[in-house]
Structure 1
Amino acid sequence: MNDVRERAVTVDDGAQLWTLSSGPEGGSPVILCHGGPGLWDDLGPVAAMLDSTHLVHRYDQRGCGRSTGPDDYRVERAVADLDALRQHWGHERWTVFGHSWGATLVLAYAWTYPDHVQAVIHCSGTGPGNEWRAPYHAESARRLTVEQQNRLEELENQERNWDEEVEYRTLCWLPGYADPTMAETWAREAASVPFEINWRANRELWTGRSDLIPAARNVTAPTLIVHGEEDPRPLANVRRLLGVIPNATLAAIPGAGHSPWLEAPAVLSGHLNAFCSAHAQRLPS
């Protein structure tokens, strides 16, 4: 990874957003938006795929990870925070990448601020509506043993110490990986990050998530939809976005689950670099 610059950016209501930037200052800018809601940036491997040629920004969303409140967890506020970062860095337009919940966020940003979006990357999202929920929960349960399912339910309904919290998160995130030989290792690594999950942000942002179909028709920027074929969030529902977003293409990644940078890094890197290079800003030298 190229030279990394870490800073806190204060937005209009006093929230301080932790940010990390890497790559050449003159590179075409890309912002990476993490999932959750209520989690923290875990997209360093994605940044490393792009920052040899692009200026890549990452951040923790408000009240999450290393960022502070106030506690305003509306989708509109999350979109405003994202644009405040754009203004802070002085970018007229940028490419917006979102993973999981972040994929919903970047679509909302793209239809709210179309003049500031160069291109959109929707990675491992859920797609429109709620039709994804039943097959997602069924497939996630199928990937856990009965003992794991019982233990997950037990942990969910009790106060947890730190070791139990790591165990709980591991079981929650375990089904997201396609490779059964590495799933527990990857899930435990993610679960061991020493930040609290912001459950209020999780609850309120999901509750405030509107159906994507009507508004996504207003996403005019070129859009790449990236999805692991083995993600328990069904590809079929994500594919529906192709009939909605006017300028969207799909890159389905065989053998990859919810975090394709772990299970198919070369394939993901190829898709991202080809797309970002094709739609890079031609900045003055």
Structure 2
Amino acid sequence: MERVRLSDGAELATWRTGTVTGRPPVVLLHGGPGLWDYLEPVAAMIDTLAPIFRYDQRGCGRSTPSDDQSMATSLADLEQLRQAWQAPELILIGHSFGATLALAYAAEFPDRVAAVGYLAGLGTGDWRTPYRAERERRQRQYADRLARLTAQQRSRDEEIEWRRLRWVHDYADPDRGLELARPMAESENKINFQANREVRFDDADLVGWAGAVRCPVTFLHGDRDPRPVANVVELAGLVRRSRKRIIADAGHLPWLERPAETAELLHEVIIEAG
């Protein structure tokens, strides 16, 4: 791990892996907002293709605490990291909220991005209504226990259980998801709920970013992600150079449920970028 100090004194925890190949480095952007880097397994899928950078976003994970939470600050932080890494151009692969951050950065800094992989993002329009209904359906058998844990002060073991139950809906098979969610749930990192509240964007932002992006954007989405694929397809239609790739029988973290298919598509994003 290497800490990169930003202009305001905040320090971000970063990691570099991968292989120097002549391609632009790949930056993996985790979701949340308010989580931490959990994309090491994704980095391992692509580490022969390019240098790979990962980092904990501002105030999250192993980065230093920060009350400065906004979309503008998230974009500025990524630009300062690019400068620190001395990378004229980047390939961005973002997951969930990280997909939005990747799209926004490509719009704000079009000369700095060779390609975007928009992995399991939200899309535009009303995705929340169907998402919440599907979340409730998949969590139904755990609802009582989850409600009790949510309402109480939790021990370390209870925090792990709460996270697993809270995240189980993100998997195509919730029963299997209960185990797949365990490694992330067992992280020592705390969820930054302030970042989750304050790093905001809306459909008008997404439409503007989609229209401004000049590089190719590949939209990758599991067909059983509770966040509907239709909303992602709607957003993809606003991007001039877009491709859509649907991963069968996969939820919100497709590299865990369909690793071979996800790896193949990520390779496509990187190879076709340069």
TM-score range, shorter chain: over 0.9
The alignment's TM-score, normalised by the length of structure 1, stands at 0.92
Alignment of 1:111-190 (within 5 A): 111-129=107-125, 131-146=126-141, 148-190=142-184
Q: Structure 2: give runs of 5+ residues left out of the alignment.
A: none
Q: Would you say the 8 A contact 2:168–2:174 is kept in 1?
A: no
Shift of 1:54: 0.6
1:93 is matched with: 89
Residue 272 of structure 1 is aligned with which of 261, 266, 272? 266
Residue 242 of structure 1 is aligned with which of 224, 233, 236? 236
More deviation, 20-29/41-50: 20-29
Alignment of 1:1-285 (within 5 A): 6-28=1-23, 29-129=25-125, 131-146=126-141, 148-205=142-199, 208-211=200-203, 212-280=206-274
Q: Structure 1: give runs of 5+ residues left out of the alignment.
A: 1-5, 281-285
Identity %: 46
SS at match of 1:18: strand
SS at match of 1:250: strand
How has the CA–CA distance of structure 1 residues 160 and 180 changed in structure 2, closer, same or farther, with 3 Å as cutoff?
Answer: closer
Q: Would you say the 8 A contact 2:30–2:36 is kept in 1?
A: yes
Shift of 1:181: 4.7
Shift of 1:51: 1.2
SS at match of 2:181: helix
Alpha-carbon separation, structure 2, partners of 1:209 and 1:183: 29
Counterpart of 2:209, as a letter, is: A
Deviations 1:230-249 (A, max 9, x none): 11011111110121111111
Alpha-carbon separation, structure 1, partners of 2:19 and 2:26: 12
Shift of 1:214: 2.7
Deviations 1:77-110 (A, max 9, x none): 0011111111011111110110011011111111
Deviations 1:107-143 (A, max 9, x none): 11111111101101110111124x0111111101111
Alpha-carbon separation, structure 2, partners of 1:73 and 1:57: 22
Counterpart of 1:257, as a letter, is: G
| Count of paired positions | 271
Shift of 1:26: 4.7
Shift of 1:226: 0.5
Q: Would you say the 8 A contact 2:21–2:49 is kept in 1?
A: no
Q: Would you say the 8 A contact 1:14–1:70 is kept in 2?
A: no
The alignment's TM-score, normalised by the length of structure 2, stands at 0.95
